[in-house]
Amino acid sequence: MRIVAGKYRGKKLWAPEGKDVRPTSERAREAIFNILYSHFGGDYASMDMADIFAGTGAFGFEALSRGFKSVTFVDINTTAVEKNAKLFLQEHEKIKMMRADATKLPRTRQKFNLVFTDAPYARSLTEKTLEQLLLKEWLADKAICIVEVRKDELFPLSEAFELLDERVYGLARVLFLRLK
């Protein structure tokens, strides 16, 4: 597993053995950022991002490589993402770790322009996480939420969001939502 593009293109990331962590594939990350580029034009320098259910942090580190202002990694177990953060010591001021249950998020003063959530499949955790993002006021005006679910998983879209795009990559379905 490696960074696909940007300042750290080609940098290898650490991933644990086994099935406890399911990093977003390089192909899917590249495609997702191409879609984001069409919405933002690649100017990420003022954007704050949250990588929820971060796992290894592959998506968030990809965002850092592409120039995001900051990335906050959220997971119950931050061991893997902390190990990868050591590979980005020069970016330590842009990286924040939050050990938290995504279905019970704490309040934060920071507002995020982009949120990526890749919950364990078929447990309704994504819906609960999006509710928490709204309830705890994590989202900036017109924030984009990228939601990865299993391709055959039912996903009820909250009225708070509009669906911008939807793609399938292997077993994953990726939805691009914008806060109304």
> What values do phi and psi take at 45, rounded to 5?
-60, -20
Name residues of the chain where pLDDT drops below 50. Answer: none
- Model pTM score: 0.93
pLDDT at 148: 94
Q: Please say whether the beta carbons of 130 and 138 come within 8 A.
A: no
Q: Which residue bears the tokens 């939601």? A: 147
CA–CA gap between residue 136 and residue 113 (Å, rounded): 15
Q: Which residue bears the tokens 């609960």? A: 128
CA–CA gap between residue 51 and residue 115 (Å, rounded): 6
CA–CA gap between residue 178 and residue 164 (Å, rounded): 7
CATH H-level, domain 26-179: superfamily:
Vaccinia Virus protein VP39 (3.40.50.150)
